[in-house]
């Protein structure tokens, strides 16, 4: 079995520092042929640095790396790839305007034999791409423009590009963070196939259940140091979390108690009511009521219409049917600014492209919405702005060396907190959060969830969207399940993840993914 | 913050000083400024005066570029404004030497600037309302604008005989050229507006991440349209100065290639062409650099036939000086022997 297989990639005593600040401190790592090896750790544990060193994105400073017995020192990702170490990054690094086949073979496209450097052999290119993708169980036309493919297929294309170069080692850096459950299954099937072929696979993820679904072995890092290497079967989930965090983490929750609390205290305090809200091609007929202190969970697979509902609620798209009542007044939301004026707050799904304004300071990012609502002629006094951002940074525990520094330098979890702080700065009645915990490490996730529960206790109404059903069932006082862009049903607080899954699966006809 | 700003303007200032030093080396009297009839005269004053139209246009362009836009129609807007002003003031040479204007001058100025602002609004509407690429949207007016200006002038170069009008481009206020005073006032007022209101924050947010800015509630559409309208207005002011300066309106040549000089001035000043980061002071310096460069070419006595080539070479050198990558490369080349 896997543990009998020979080590392929061995790193010993890796020490790496950025400008004197150590990121890795004597880390050992062994990757064997025919295994899927999960690299786990909180943000800042050194996972990315280790991967960068292994793939040549960072020069090896101290320690040794051997690949199949021979010492190597990759100088660039391209060099590492030539040596046989291929990497698929978290954000898909492909050209969306090229075709699938072009993306796979860009830079090493098959040429027609009778020309040198002149003619690309398009037929061979597309045929080879087709074969390669078929080997990964992806059945699409390789001539399609990449941008028209789902993120999962794009991920597969990235993998196809990586493994085509006769790789011995495949490194996947958070490949699943934007995939839904079916797509993850498809990816895992591919990984299993590659593993059976003897590929050594290194896999980084924040999703704990996925670690157990696919990995043979787990290596845990903490604060740049190796905590340990374990067989996946020997390390259960609580033990894994404890190893990553360095202490036991209590799971937040109490949704039921809170639901009762909310129901008892404020039955009539309905702040947001949707009846039959629809938009052609996006969502059909969504209805719910949301009271102060309630957390409404929106569950469903990727593409089920979760995000589309959030966009309608915040005026990012306009509803073409149905009614939305905010604080007792029927409104037709024209744009986000309009929604904000009705005391709605929003934290978008894509933190980098829709959330943060990267080069602006943390303070400016947090104050942006408040200032935009106040308008052009009412500049927020600087002292008030500082006081408010200090307060919010403390309340949400935003860890930043300097609030006047650019937000782009913060970790993902802290950036996310800033986007939430931006919405909270306007004192909203309803806060809509689309995947607020995506791509954030376990401890950060838990912190954000706990903070949301507190906010709800203080009377905020929350609409909460998450792909992680157990996270949703833990905090929501009410869950709406979306399926095929329709409301499949509503579940009360205390529903189990299985209840949600069975409601998602109850569809009479569910198309296969991809 | 202050240190950062001075750092960002460091290279534009160095470039300008280098050009002035070059001129002084060639012509020792270059720096001399004298007072005649209560007016300041001298090469430096002349540069200030002549740089005014470009500085105005570049100020408007800076904001448009900062919000991820571009306006290549400013040269055409200069021509339209000049033609409008010339048509409305008109004036004819009477036999007794008395000249009158067709409409009151204030009306002509307001109407011409109104038309310029409308031109900017049109650009903004195409970019924001129709969703066209800025370079294409403003290309339309860049091409059509010259035609419009020709329609206004009837295909001729209109001469403006009304003496008060020539004050804009040739007059003096408190001893300084009026055009330079006007450009300075506009830029200072704009700077005040940007720092006293959150407009600067909004523009930067739109320029860095328009999607996130919209979601954060920034009304990017009206703001962007207003920026294009303002850019039209500054082009209009430049058009008035230019036509006043030569006392005529030439639909074909007024403001010719001004859009490219404006983009160059904006770039020289350290504003990112990709949007977000911008500096008004840098743009003003950029305009001065370009005008000084032009003076340099005259003072060196470069033959007309190689004028453009020489200018291109100078611009190339200036851009290299300003490029952080180039400076880093030079530094590496210089320090390598020590390391080895």
Residue B136 has pLDDT above 90, yes or no: yes
User: In the Cβ-directed half-sphere of A387, how many Cα atoms lie within 13 Å?
Assistant: 5
- Same-domain check for residues A472 and A493: yes
Beta A295-299 vs A344-347: how paired, if at all? unpaired
Closest C-alpha to A373, from B195, B202, B63:
B202
Within a 10 A sphere around the Cβ of A65, how many other Cβ atoms?
22
Token pair recorded at residue A484: 């095929």
Are the C-beta atoms of A278 and A297 separated by less than 8 Å?
A: no
Q: What is the ipTM of this complex?
A: 0.81
CA distance A12 to A15: 9
CB–CB of A180/A301 below 8 Å?
A: yes
Higher pLDDT, A499 or B139: B139
Residues A47 and A96 in one domain: yes
B209–A357 C-beta distance less than 8 A: yes
Higher pLDDT, A111 or A104: A104
Q: Which of A404, A427, A450 is the last residue in one of the domains?
A: A427
Report how far residue A282's alpha carbon sits from residue A336's, in angstroms, rounded to the nearest whole number.
18
CA angle B261, B262, B265 (to 5 degrees): 85
Residue A512 pLDDT: 39
pLDDT bucket at B1, cuts 50 / 70 / 90 = very low
Q: Give the one of B197, B205, B215 whose C-beta lies nearest to A316's C-beta.
A: B215
CB atoms within 10 A of CB A412: 18
Which one of B195, B198, B223 makes the best mutation probe of the A interface by having the most chain A beta carbons within 10 Å? B198
How many angstroms away from the CA of A369 is the closest CA of chain B? 5
Residue A418 domain-assigned (yes or no): yes
DSSP assignment of A325-376 equals: EETTEEE---SHHHHHHTTEEEE-S-IIIII--TTSBHHHHHHHHHHHHH-T
Residue with tokens 């990112």: B272
Whether B68 and chain A come into contact, CB under 8 Å, resolves to no
Nearest CA in chain B to A369: B216
Q: Does A336 touch chain B (CB under 8 A)?
A: yes
> What is the strand order of the sheet A461-465 is part of?
A329-331, A321-326, A270-279, A283-291, A486-492, A478-483, A295-299, A461-465, A430-434, A344-347
Please give the tally of structural domains in chain A: 3
Q: Which residues of A touch B217 (CB under 8 A)?
A: 336-337, 339-340, 368-369, 372-373
pLDDT digits (tens, 9 = 90+) for A157-203: 888 888 766 678 999 887 766 676 777 787 888 888 888 888 899 98
Provide the CA A244 distance to its chain's centre, in angstroms: 19
The reported pLDDT for the residue numbered B337 is 55
Please give the pLDDT value at position B72.
94
Q: Residue B339's pLDDT is what? A: 44
Q: Any chain B CB within 8 A of the CB of A371? A: yes
Q: CA of A250: how far to CAs of A150, A398, A496, B271, in Å?
A: 36, 20, 19, 50
pLDDT (0 to 100) of residue B95: 60
- Judge contact between A480 and A286, C-beta under 8 A: yes
Q: Does the pLDDT value for residue B246 go beyond 50?
A: yes
Closest residue of A to B1, CA-based?
A404
In a domain, A37, yes or no: yes
Q: Among A348-362, A366-380, B98-112, which stretch is predicted with the lowest mean pLDDT? A: B98-112
d(CA A60, CA A69) in angstroms, rounded, equals 17
Strands B39-42 and B33-36: antiparallel
The answer to whether A482 and A298 have CB atoms below 8 angstroms apart is: yes
Q: Which residues of B touch A371 (CB under 8 A)?
A: 198, 201-202
A316 and B CB contact within 8 Å: yes
Distance from the first to the final alpha carbon of chain B: 38
Residue located via tokens 């005269």:
B41
CA distances from B225 to B132, B197, B229 (A): 13, 18, 6
pLDDT of residue A422: 92
Residues A365 and A339 in one domain: no
Which has the minimum average pLDDT: A70-79, B281-290, B316-325? Answer: B316-325
% of chain A exceeding 70 in pLDDT? 88
Q: Indicate the pLDDT class of residue B266, thresholds 50, 70 and 90.
A: very high
Least confident piece of the model among A389-398, B3-12, B268-277, B300-309: B3-12
Whether residue A513 is contained in a domain is answered as: no
Whether residue A372 and residue B219 make contact (CB cut-off 8 A), yes or no, is yes
Mean pLDDT estimate for chain B? 87
pTM score, whole prediction: 0.76
Residue A455 belongs to a domain: no
Statement to judge: residues A21 and A41 lie in one domain: yes
Q: Do B198 and A373 touch (CB under 8 A)?
A: no
Give the pLDDT of residue A339.
Answer: 92
Which two structure tokens, joined as six digits, stand for B326? 């180039």
Q: Which of B191, B327, B171, B340 is nearest to B244 (CA)?
A: B171
The residue count for chain B: 340
Task: With respect to residue A218, please indicate whether it lies within any of the assigned structural domains.
Answer: yes
Angle among Cα B329, B331, B334 to the nearest 5 degrees reads 110
CATH number of the domain bearing residue A61? 3.40.50.300
The H or E element that residue A486 is part of is strand A486-492
Measured between beta carbons, which residues in chain B are less than 8 angstroms from residue A356?
209, 212
Q: Give the whole-number percent of chain A exceeding pLDDT 90.
A: 18
Residue with tokens 């204030």: B106
Structural element, H or E, at residue A309: helix A306-313
Task: Tell if the CB–CB gap between A364 and B214 is shorter than 8 Å.
Answer: no
**Predicted confidence band of residue B263 (pLDDT cuts 50, 70, 90):** very high
Hey, how many other C-beta atoms are within 10 angstroms of the C-beta on B176? 15
| CA distances in angstroms from A397 to A7, A420, A448, B123, listed in the order given | 42, 12, 9, 45
Q: What count of other Cβ atoms lies within 10 Å of the Cβ of residue A275? A: 14
Q: Which of A193, A228, A245 lies at the terminal end of a domain, its last residue?
A: A245
Q: Is residue A256 part of a domain?
A: no
Contact B122, B140 (CB under 8 A): no
B200 min Cα distance to partner chain A (Å): 10
How many residues are listed for chain A in this entry? 514
Token pair of A127, please? 């045929």
Provide the pLDDT confidence category of residue B324 given band limits of 50, 70 and 90.
confident
Whether A173 and A32 share a structural domain = yes
Nearest to B217 among A354, A355, A369 (CB): A369
More confident residue, A441 or B51: B51
User: Vertex B185, ends B184 and B187: CA angle to 5°?
Assistant: 65
A328 sits in the region (left: phi over 0; alpha: psi -120 to 50; else beta) called left
pLDDT for A340 equals: 92
Q: How many CA atoms lie within 13 A of A413 on its CB side?
A: 19
The predicted model gives B128-143 an average pLDDT of 93
Helix pair B199-208, B43-66: axis angle to 10 deg: 60
Nearest-angstrom CA–CA distance, B276 and A260: 48
Interface test with B, best of A318, A368, A416, A420 (most B CBs within 10 A): A368
Same domain, A331 and A370: no
Q: Is the dihedral of CA A314, A315, A318, A322 positive or negative?
A: positive
Q: By the 8 A CB rule, do A48 and A27 touch?
A: no
User: Percentage helix, strand, coil, to 5, in chain A?
Assistant: 40, 25, 35
Query: Among all residues of chain A, which has the CA nearest to that of B214?
Result: A336
What average pLDDT does the structure give for chain A? Answer: 82
Q: What is the mean pLDDT of residues B219-240?
A: 95
Provide the residue range defining the domain that includes A381.
Answer: 349-427
Give kind and range of the element (H or E) at residue A12. strand A7-18
Q: Is the pLDDT of residue A47 over 90?
A: no
Mean pLDDT of B121-144: 93
DSSP annotation of A119 reads -
- Are A380 and A313 part of one and the same domain? no
- Is the confidence at residue B333, as pLDDT, over 70? yes
What is the per-residue pLDDT for A172?
A: 87
Q: Which domains occur in chain B, in start order?
A: 37-301 (1.10.3470)
Chain A residues with CB-CB distance to B209 below 8 A:
353, 356-358
Please list the helix, strand and coil fractions of chain B in percent, rounded to the nearest 5, in that order.
75, 5, 20
Q: Does residue A507 register a pLDDT over 60? A: no
A-to-B residue pairs, Cβ atoms closer than 8 angstroms: 74
Strand partners, A432: A346, A463
Say if residue A123 is in the same domain as residue A215. Answer: yes
Strand partners, B35: B40
Q: Give pLDDT, residue B340.
A: 40
The angle at the Cα of A161, spanning A160 to A167, to the nearest 5 degrees, equals 85
Interval B295-308 mean pLDDT: 83
Interface contact flag, B214 A335, Cβ < 8 Å? yes
B100, pLDDT greater than 90? no
Q: Which residues touch A487 (CB under 8 Å, ≥6 apart)?
A: A285, A286, A287, A480, A481
Of the candidates B294, B244, B229, B223, the one whose C-alpha atom is nearest the C-alpha of residue B265 is: B294
Same-domain status, A80 and A15: yes
Nearest-by-CA chain B residue for A348 = B215
Same domain, A46 and A90: yes
What gap in Å lies between CA A356 and CA A345, rounded to an integer?
15
Are both A339 and A367 inside the same structural domain? no
Is A449 inside a domain boundary?
Answer: no
Query: If DSSP states are collapsed to H, E and C, what string results for A28-57?
Result: EEEEECCCEEEEECCCCCCHHHHHHHHCCC
Residue A159 domain-assigned?
yes
Q: What is the pLDDT of residue A510?
A: 41
Among A93-97, A442-446, B86-90, the minimum mean pLDDT is found in A442-446
pLDDT digits (tens, 9 = 90+) for A256-282: 555 555 555 555 578 899 988 988 878
CB A301 within 8 A of CB A484: no
The tokens describing A236, both together, are: 């259960």
Q: Are residues A336 and A481 in the same domain?
A: yes
* Residue A514, pLDDT score: 34
Interface test with A, best of B197, B204, B217, B224 (most A CBs within 10 A): B217
């Amino acid at each position: 079995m896997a543990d009998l297989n020979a080590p392929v990639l061995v790193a010993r005593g890796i020490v790496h520092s950025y400008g004197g600040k150590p990121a890795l401190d004597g880390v050992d790592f062994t990757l064997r042929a025919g295994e899927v090896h999960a690299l786990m750790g909180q943000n800042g544990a050194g996972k990315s640095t280790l991967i960068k060193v292994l793939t040549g994105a960072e020069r090896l400073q101290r320690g040794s790396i051997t690949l199949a017995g021979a010492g190597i020192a990759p100088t660039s990702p391209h060099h590492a790839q030539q040596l046989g170490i291929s990497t698929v990054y978290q954000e898909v690094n492909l050209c969306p305007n090229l075709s699938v086949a072009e993306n796979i073979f860009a830079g090493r496209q098959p040429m027609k034999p009778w020309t040198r450097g002149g003619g690309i052999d398009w037929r061979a290119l597309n045929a080879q791409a087709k074969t390669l993708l078929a080997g990964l169980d992806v059945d699409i036309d390789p001539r399609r423009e990449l941008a028209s493919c789902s993120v999962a297929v794009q991920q597969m294309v990235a993998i196809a590009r990586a493994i085509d170069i006769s790789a011995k080692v495949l490194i996947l850096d958070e490949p699943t963070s934007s995939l839904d459950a079916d797509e993850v299954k498809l990816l895992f099937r591919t990984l299993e196939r590659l593993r059976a072929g003897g590929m050594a696979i290194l896999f980084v993820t924040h999703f704990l259940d996925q670690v157990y679904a696919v990995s043979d072995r787990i290596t845990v890092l903490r604060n740049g140091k190796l905590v340990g290497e374990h067989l996946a079967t020997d390390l259960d989930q609580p033990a894994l979390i404890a190893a990553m965090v360095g202490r036991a983490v209590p799971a937040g929750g109490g949704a039921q108690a809170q639901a009762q609390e909310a129901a008892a205290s404020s039955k009539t305090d309905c702040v947001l009511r949707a009846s039959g809200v629809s938009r052609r091609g996006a969502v059909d007929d969504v209805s719910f009521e949301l009271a102060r202190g309630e957390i409404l969970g929106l569950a469903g697979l990727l593409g089920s219409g979760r995000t589309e509902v959030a966009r309608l609620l915040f005026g990012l798209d306009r509803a073409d049917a149905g009614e939305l009542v905010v604080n007792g007044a029927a409104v037709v939301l024209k744009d986000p600014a309009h929604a904000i004026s009705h005391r709605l707050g929003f934290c978008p799904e894509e933190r980098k492209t829709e959330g943060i304004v990267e080069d602006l300071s943390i303070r400016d990012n947090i104050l942006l919405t408040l200032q935009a609502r106040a308008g052009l002629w009412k500049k927020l006094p600087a002292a008030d702005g500082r006081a408010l951002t200090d307060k919010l940074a403390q309340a949400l525990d935003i860890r930043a060396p300097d609030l006047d520094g650019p937000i782009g330098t913060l970790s993902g979890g802290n950036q996310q907190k800033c986007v939430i702080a931006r919405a909270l700065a306007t004192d909203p009645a309803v806060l809509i959060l689309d995947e607020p915990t995506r791509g954030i490490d376990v401890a950060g996730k838990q912190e954000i969830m706990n903070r949301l529960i507190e906010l709800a206790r203080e009377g905020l109404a929350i609409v909460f969207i998450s792909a992680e059903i157990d996270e949703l069932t833990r905090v929501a006082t009410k869950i709406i399940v979306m399926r095929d862009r329709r409301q499949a049903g509503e579940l009360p607080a205390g529903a189990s993840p299985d209840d949600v899954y069975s409601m998602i699966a109850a569809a009479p006809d569910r198309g296969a993914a991809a | 913050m202050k240190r950062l700003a001075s750092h960002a303007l460091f290279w534009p200032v160095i470039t300008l000083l280098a050009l002035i030093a070059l001129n002084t080396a060639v012509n020792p009297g270059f720096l001399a400024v004298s007072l005649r009839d209560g007016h300041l005269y001298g090469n430096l004053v002349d540069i200030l005066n002549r740089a005014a139209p470009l500085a105005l246009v570049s100020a408007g362009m800076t904001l448009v570029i900062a919000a991820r836009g571009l306006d290549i129609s400013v040269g055409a807007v200069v021509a339209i404004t000049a033609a409008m002003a010339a048509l409305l003031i008109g004036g004819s040479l009477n036999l007794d030497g008395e000249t009158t204007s067709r409409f009151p001058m204030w009306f002509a100025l307001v109407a011409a600037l109104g038309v310029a602002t409308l031109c900017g609004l049109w650009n903004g509407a195409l970019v924001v309302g129709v969703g066209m690429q800025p370079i294409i949207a403003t290309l339309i007016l860049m091409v059509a604008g010259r035609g419009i200006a020709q329609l206004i002038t009837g295909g001729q170069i209109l001469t403006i005989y009304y003496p008060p009008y020539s004050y804009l481009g040739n007059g003096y206020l408190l001893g300084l050229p009026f055009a330079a005073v006007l450009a300075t006032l506009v830029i200072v007022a704009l700077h005040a507006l940007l720092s006293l209101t959150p407009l600067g924050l909004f523009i930067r947010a739109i320029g860095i991440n328009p999607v996130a800015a919209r979601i954060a509630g920034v009304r990017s559409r009206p703001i962007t349209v207003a920026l294009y309208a303002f850019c039209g207005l500054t082009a209009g002011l430049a058009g008035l100065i230019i036509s006043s300066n030569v006392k005529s309106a030439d639909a074909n040549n007024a403001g010719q290639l001004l859009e490219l000089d404006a983009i160059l001035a904006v770039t020289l000043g350290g504003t990112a062409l990709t949007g977000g980061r911008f500096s008004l002071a840098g743009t003003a310096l950029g305009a001065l650099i370009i005008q000084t460069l032009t003076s340099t070419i005259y003072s060196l006595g470069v033959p007309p036939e190689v004028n453009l080539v020489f200018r291109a070479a100078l611009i190339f050198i200036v851009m290299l000086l300003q490029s952080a990558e180039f400076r880093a490369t030079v530094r590496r080349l210089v320090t390598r022997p020590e390391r080895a």
